[in-house]
Structure 1
Amino acid sequence: MLAPSCASDKTPGHPEPLVVHLPDGRRLGLTRYGDPSHPVAVFHHGFGSSSLELPPAPALLASLGLQVVALDRPGVGHSDVYRRLSFPSFAADTVAVLDALGIAGPVGVLGWSVGGVHALALAALYPERVAAVHLLSTCLPLGERAAYRHLSRVWKGLRWGQLSFPWLNRTTFLWLSRQWARHPDRTIGWFIRLMHPAEARVTQAFRALLRDAAVQGFAHAGRGVYDDAQAWCRPPGFRMEAVRAPTTLWHGTADGVWAPDNIPYLASRLARARLHPLPGQGHMLYLENWAKILTQLRAELPL
């Protein structure tokens, strides 16, 4: 069942928050950008963020004849917490949302950062529902044995800490949720100061958008962020080789969050991968290249 969010803005072309009631009774929030009659691109947000991290771009979407359906993972925004979150469970949630919206045909799928792994899971587990995949500054699944060998020492250490000291991470995410709720401007300023130059520049330019997205991302006392991290660290539950849709990997050569070294390896495991390196750009590259990304994706979708 589909219901408008209480904060829904019905202005034509502007982002529309909605809530879908899933078959098991849970609520899943989403934001729809663009005309509901247009072909669909599904967007998976990054870690600690939400469906609000996209530029509204109503004129761009209208010119392309495209709508973007951005989903909030469990425990984010208006989505209920789901402790058993996994890549397969959220792929199933995504299909349930598409069914609730009456979207039957293949869609484009985009994923930024860890959202890229969720995009791959959807394409691998429901290939008939996916026409094309675009991975934007994507990560690797931390819990897959083969991919683990390619992780940096930093990411191996972060995975170890997440699994070995879950109480500490839960406490950290609870504290961060309070900071985002009480002091959002101060908190995003703190994160910007910690960023590499390429990320800091773009984040500052889109400061309000990313701030509001993070506030929603850390809703529910940070429970959704914690569960997302746990899912990321466990075995992924799908095989990347099962992805058959054409897949474009957009990655900046100056990415300070997920270094580009692993991207050729990831591409080697995807049957129809195409690398799209962006010189000098960082982890937030999707914000600077949104028109190019959507234009290419629209060309890969059925008319």
Structure 2
Amino acid sequence: MPLPHAGPPVPQTVRLPDGRRLGFTRYGHPAHRAVVFHHGFGSSGLELPPDAALLARLQLQILAPDRPGVGQSGVYRPLSFPSFADDVVALLDALGVDAPVGVMGWSVGGVHALALAARHPARVAAVALLSTCLPLGEPAAYRHLSRLWKLLRWGQVSFPWLNRTTFLWLSRQWQRRPDRTIDWFIRLMRPEEARVTARFRVLLRDAAVAGFANHGRGVYDDAQAWCRPPGFRIEEVQAPVRLWHGEQDGVWAPGNIPYLARRLGGAPVHLLPGQGHMLYLENWPAIMEEMAALLDGPCLSC
């Protein structure tokens, strides 16, 4: 039987019940099982490898929503992990996706993935956390943060106007000089992150341009939400979880990943030697194959 044809990923929008606009990118064929992907900080749903052949073989589609203020999504204040989890469920309802979905999240998107699984357990069949972070505003997690991340949270909470100004300036750079801006970021990165970013330069550049749309408002609101109490408990996640993390992650060191795995009932961890924060781009087929296996497994009806 021939596989359904799917065109290139195209950003789309839906109207949420309260009238707001939510942007998302669909990868793959609408008839296939759905996986929701939560993008990283300062990025958008355009950050995924457009591997249509892989998705067709696995019979999966990916729905990658943009958080409020990102891409074509309208600005919404105050953004929170629970509020965006509810937005994603509204997106699934609008698209007629009734079956439990796979959920993925890269970097801070991993916290949004956990929020969706915790808040709407009946809608989530499996979770993959890719180079994930901890919720900065949760007291239990805060004790495990590095000094740098504690300092960054203090600055975001204590000087929000400074961060707003910074994200506004970065938004202008991404809109006016996208090539120069991504090259500047690559020069600031650690070697492993710089290598992968340079390889996927155009994809990540375009994702960041959409991420910093709307004068950087979405990035600022995302940072504020990350620093507030998360509004859910990690232990509330019922779906099976898999964690992927690089031993050379220069953004979020792997030391906290065993702690997070314990809070998720001893979730298995793929700790990859020589890999950094961008590992999802170079391990995409393996990540998607594992997700397909989880969706095929007995936990789909748990």
> TM-score with structure 2 length normalisation?
0.96
Q: Which runs of 5+ in 1 are unaligned?
A: 1-10
Equivalent position amino acid for 2:98 in 1: A
What secondary structure sits across from 2:249 in the alignment? coil
TM-aligned CA deviation for residue 271 of structure 1: 2.1
Q: Deviations over 1:163-219 (max 9, x none)?
A: 000000000000000000000000000000000111000000000000000000000
1:177 aligns with 2:171: yes
Residue number in structure 1 paired with 2:295: 301
1:5 is aligned to none
In the TM superposition, residue 17 of structure 1 has moved relative to its aligned partner by 1.7
Q: Map 1:10-89 onto structure 2 (within 5 A).
A: 12-89=6-83
* CA distance in structure 2 between the partners assigned to 1:110 and 1:272 by the alignment: 18
In the alignment, residue 213 of structure 1 is paired with which amino acid?
A: A
Cα deviation for residue 84 of structure 1 reads: 1.0
Number of aligned positions between the proteins: 293
1:4 alignment counterpart: none
Consecutive unaligned residues of structure 2, counting only runs of 5 or more, are 298-302
Match of 2:183 in 1: 189
Secondary structure in 1 matching 2:149:
helix
Give CA deviations for 1:210-269 in whole Å, capped at 9, x if unaligned.
Answer: 000000000000000000000000000000000011100100000000000000000010
Conserved? CA contact 1:48–1:214, under 8 Å: yes
In the aligned structure 1, how far is the partner of 2:6 from the partner of 2:189?
36
Matched, 1:205 2:199: yes
Q: Distance in 2 between matches of 1:155 and 1:124?
A: 24
Does residue 286 in structure 1 map to residue 280 in structure 2?
Answer: yes
Asked if the contact 1:247/1:272 (under 8 Å) is kept, the reply is no
- What amino acid is the match of 1:284? M
User: What displacement does 1:83 show?
Assistant: 1.4
Give matches, 1:1-303, under 5 Å: 12-271=6-265, 273-302=267-296
Deviation of 1:12 after TM superposition, in Å, equals 2.9
- C-alpha deviations, 1:72-103, integer Å up to 9, x for none? 00000000001110000000000000000100
**Would you identify which runs of 4 or more consecutive aligned residues in structure 1 move more than 4 Å?**
none
Q: Alpha carbon RMSD of aligned pairs, Å?
A: 0.9
Mapped to 2, the partners of 1:302 and 1:91 lie a distance apart of 24
**Deviation (angstroms), 1:302:** 4.2
Instruction: Measure, in 1, the Cα distance between the counterparts of 2:6 and 2:288.
Output: 20
Q: Is the 8 A contact 1:245 1:272 kept in 2?
A: no
